[in-house]
């Protein structure tokens, strides 16, 4: 954790670098986890700050992805400022709050996300009929398994709403990220040869789904990180 912040009167002064910041180029505010206690290590001495983006000390550089779009960004803080009151919780307690934020992203927030997943699956089933891919029993089986998997994901997401057992959010993250990645692969098989041909302009919807969903098992904490959390905090296994 190299980004640092120090109080200067009634403001935090922040210097550092944040990467893979979703939609930073469209945002008015972002949260920054910064080291605010000199000499602290690992998860101690960190603070969770809310920082306005429209100021001279903030530089945003979009990262172009395989899809040709740039939802993710690098953000550089060069003595950027935010009010001293813009700390979530108490100074030094940022790591606990950051973990809670990640648990929401991995878990309960999926209830909203699965609405989009359901729409994608419904439209893909229609495409399979249109392309006649649905005549293939293997394709029909994969579509059915995708529908079943989405029901399981939704039920598990509802089960995480009580906020207990942080590891359950990691279980859900593994479930939905792999489900969506597999849906992207299924979309390419349904599209057939058209799926591997890029048009003269932008990629089509299913090509973007396939390419972007490759990142689902990485952002928000990779599968490997989730497995460590499940093993240590859920199953009680040694580090």
Provide CATH 2.40.110.10 ranges for the chain: 4-93
Given this model, what pLDDT does residue 199 score? Answer: 64
Chain centroid to CA 6? 29
Provide CATH 1.20.140.10 ranges for the chain: 107-234
CATH superfamily of 107-234: Butyryl-CoA Dehydrogenase, subunit A, domain 3 (1.20.140.10)
Given this model, what pLDDT does residue 163 score? Answer: 64
Architecture of domain 4-93 in this structure: Beta Barrel (2.40)
What are the angstrom distances between the C-alpha of 52 and each of 4, 12, 69? 16, 12, 24
Given this model, what pLDDT does residue 139 score? Answer: 96
What length does the chain have? Answer: 239
| Closest to 27 (Cα-Cα) out of 69, 73, 68, 65 | 73
Q: Catalytic residue, from 11, 37, 74, 105: name it.
A: 105
Q: How many CA atoms lie within 13 A of 139 on its CB side?
A: 21
Contacts of 21 by beta carbon, 8 Å cutoff, 6+ apart:
30, 60, 72, 73, 74, 75
Is 196:203 a contact under the CB 8 Å cutoff?
Answer: no
Six token digits for residue 40: 């602290």
User: Pairing relation of β-strands 11-19 and 4-8?
Assistant: antiparallel
Three-state DSSP at 50 gives strand
Tens of each residue's pLDDT in the chain, 239 residues: 899 999 999 999 999 999 989 999 999 999 999 999 988 988 899 999 999 999 999 999 999 988 888 889 999 999 999 999 999 999 999 999 998 888 777 777 778 888 999 999 999 999 999 999 999 999 999 999 999 999 999 998 888 777 667 788 899 999 999 999 999 999 999 998 877 777 656 788 999 999 999 999 998 889 999 999 999 988 999 98
pTM above 0.85, yes or no: no
Given this model, what pLDDT does residue 143 score? Answer: 97
Three-state DSSP at 228 gives helix
Whole-number Å distance between alpha carbons of 189 and 144: 15
Is 27:5 a contact under the CB 8 Å cutoff?
Answer: no
Whether 105 is a known active-site residue: answer: yes
Q: Which residues pair with 87 in a beta bridge?
A: 49
Whole-number Å distance between alpha carbons of 62 and 48: 23
């Amino acid at each position: 954790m190299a980004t640092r912040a120090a109080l200067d009167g009634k403001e935090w002064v922040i210097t550092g670098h944040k990467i893979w910041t979703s939609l930073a180029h469209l945002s008015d505010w972002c949260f920054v986890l910064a080291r605010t206690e000199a000499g602290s290590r690992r998860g101690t001495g960190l603070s969770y700050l809310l920082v306005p983006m429209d100021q001279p000390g903030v530089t945003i550089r979009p990262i172009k992805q395989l899809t040709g779009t740039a939802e993710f960004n690098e953000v550089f803080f060069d003595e950027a400022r935010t009010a001293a009151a813009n700390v979530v919780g108490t100074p030094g307690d940022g790591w606990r709050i950051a973990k809670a934020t990640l648990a929401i992203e991995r878990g309960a927030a999926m209830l909203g996300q699965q609405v989009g997943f359901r729409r994608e699956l419904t439209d893909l089933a229609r495409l399979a009929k249109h392309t006649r891919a649905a005549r293939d029993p293997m394709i029909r089986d994969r579509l059915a398994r995708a529908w079943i998997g989405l029901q399981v994901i939704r039920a598990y997401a509802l089960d995480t709403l009580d906020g207990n057992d942080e590891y359950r959010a990691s279980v859900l993250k593994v479930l939905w990220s792999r489900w969506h990645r597999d849906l992207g692969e299924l979309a390419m098989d349904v599209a057939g040869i058209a799926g591997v041909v890029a048009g003269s302009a932008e990629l089509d919807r299913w090509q973007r789904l396939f390419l972007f969903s490759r990142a689902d098992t990485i952002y928000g904490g990779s599968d490997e990180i989730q497995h460590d959390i499940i093993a240590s905090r859920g199953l009680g296994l040694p580090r």
